[in-house]
Amino acid sequence: MTTKLLVPRLGEGVDELTVVKWLKAEGDSVHELEPLLEVETDKVVTEIPSPASGILLRIEVGENTAVEVGRVLAWIGQPGELLAEAGPARPEAAAKVDPLPERTKSVAQREPVDRQPGFLSPVVRKIAAEHNLDLRQVRGSGLNGRITKQDVLAHLAGRPAAPVASGSDTEARGTLLPITTVRSQIAERMLASKQTSPHVMTVMEADLHRIAAHRAANKAAYEADGVNLTYTVYFMAAIAAALKVHPLANASWTDEGLLLHAEINIGMATSLGEQGLIVPVLQRVDELSLLGIARGVNDLAHRARTKRLRPFEVRGGTFTLTNHGIGGSLFAMPIINQPQCGILGTGAIQKRPVVVSDGAGNDALAIRPMVYLSFVFDHRILDGASADAFLSQVQERLENWSA
């Protein structure tokens, strides 16, 4: 008996996802719960397991295609088994039939968007609304001229969305790489953030010798519990403590007023290598112990890199931490993750000679592990003095660490 693989609902309010990559081809053997394909929603790439063992008889939805929850993705069964429920035609063949009755064609020709088969994805509608864009001006490159996210972003950037023809000037200059779904969403959100809020940056440095000593004394004990005690854990704890003292840094701008968030939910930018990055969110950080923060950071980072995050785990953040220093960068100007007030970037930790003073006011040189803290904030919410006060609180918590 054949088994249908349906588009699952991956979270509340998630009505659509995009097929990113099939991990098996038609005719391949599959085992129950074996990863069958990768899908993406809200910048989360998730593996979908096979619901049964058998042969992947037919794939109904191609890669880079948006589909609604409940649609059939594929059929699994035994060799030679008939797909009675599937019908003889694939979606590609069925799409060649003009779905519009003759009397509506003149209207459709005047309104290109109305001719799109199926539906416009929510993200396409959202981008169009944010930029007051008339979608009738956008040329669709999807199936039967459907408008995709890439088409809208390309139109906004003022460049053609159509593939470059062989022998063109662009081809002669180099290789044109296709834009991945994740990269497209990163571009969309970064551009929207810069257009939404005035970005201002303030930079301070922190002496981490107390943090380094605490980490050295406790790292082995944490490892015995299966937890990696990273510097990110301390940064998260320091940010949470500072946000409790300065709640405006944990706010969002709205037309009705400043929304002071009741919870402190900190997103941590996690690199996915060439695939881009993702920002999973650790909830209610201020209520967690250092061990609890470490467990949460480890878990989210691991599942982000193994494509096992759930959609709700990248939502609801009220502040963001990005560790750009992992690649050796000393300081940088990160972009705010909307609609948050700010983002804190931490640079590479370097041992440097610094001047230290004792209780009697005597100065001396000491070698200390130092880090630059780059705080980028929404100038609509915070002014320079309040931003510096928040960052000073983070600095103080790091430099005077006590568990």
203 and 312 fall within a common domain: yes
Q: pLDDT by residue (tens digit) across 224-236?
A: 999 999 999 999 9
pLDDT at position 323 is: 95
306 and 377 fall within a common domain: yes
369 and 274 fall within a common domain: yes
Show the DSSP H helices in 288-380 as ranges.
290-305
Assess if residue 191 is contained within a domain.
no
List residues with catalytic annotation. Answer: 379, 383
| Structural contact between residues 316 and 261, judged by C-beta atoms closer than 8 angstroms | no
Q: What is the CATH number of the domain that holds 43?
A: 2.40.50.100
pLDDT at position 113 is: 36
Residue with tokens 């509340």: 12
* CA distance linking residue 82 with residue 104, whole number of Å: 38
Assess if residue 309 is contained within a domain.
yes
80 and 155 fall within a common domain: no
pLDDT at position 122 is: 60
| Structural contact between residues 97 and 146, judged by C-beta atoms closer than 8 angstroms | no
Assess if residue 301 is contained within a domain.
yes
Which of 139, 161, 185 is the last residue in one of the domains? 185
363 pLDDT above the threshold of 90: yes
Assess if residue 193 is contained within a domain.
no
91 pLDDT above the threshold of 50: no
Q: pLDDT by residue (tens digit) across 206-217?
A: 999 999 999 999
112 and 241 fall within a common domain: no
Which of 129, 163, 185 is the last residue in one of the domains? 185
326 and 381 fall within a common domain: yes
Range of the domain at 149: 102-185
Contacts 24+ apart (CB under 8 A), 169-172: none
> Comparing 272 with 374, which gets the higher pLDDT?
374
Q: For the chain, what is the domain count?
A: 3
214 and 336 fall within a common domain: yes
pLDDT at position 172 is: 62
373 and 357 fall within a common domain: yes
pLDDT at position 104 is: 33
162 pLDDT above the threshold of 60: no
Q: pLDDT by residue (tens digit) across 253-264?
A: 999 999 999 999
107 and 81 fall within a common domain: no
Q: What is the CATH number of the domain that holds 178?
A: 4.10.320.10
pLDDT at position 112 is: 38
Average pLDDT, the chain: 84
348 pLDDT above the threshold of 50: yes
Which of 116, 150, 185 is the last residue in one of the domains? 185
Assess if residue 39 is contained within a domain.
yes
149 closest CA partner among 126, 171, 174, 124: 124
Assess if residue 317 is contained within a domain.
yes
CA distances from 283 to 58, 132, 188, 263, 319 (A): 41, 34, 25, 8, 11
Assess if residue 194 is contained within a domain.
no
Write down the pTM of the prediction: 0.68
pLDDT band at 377 (very low <50, low <70, confident <90, very high): very high
pLDDT at position 390 is: 98
128 pLDDT above the threshold of 70: yes
pLDDT at position 351 is: 96
pLDDT at position 110 is: 34
115 and 251 fall within a common domain: no
CA distances from 306 to 270, 272, 299, 302, 397 (A): 12, 9, 11, 6, 33
82 and 48 fall within a common domain: yes
pLDDT at position 298 is: 97
pLDDT at position 156 is: 84
* Dihedral sign, Cα of residue 124, residue 74, residue 24, residue 96: negative
pLDDT at position 101 is: 37
122 and 12 fall within a common domain: no
pLDDT band at 99 (very low <50, low <70, confident <90, very high): very low
Q: What is the CATH number of the domain that holds 242?
A: 3.30.559.10
End-to-end CA separation in angstroms for the chain: 59
**Percent of the chain scored above 90 by pLDDT?**
53
Assess if residue 136 is contained within a domain.
yes
Q: For residue 360, give both structure tokens.
A: 């009697």
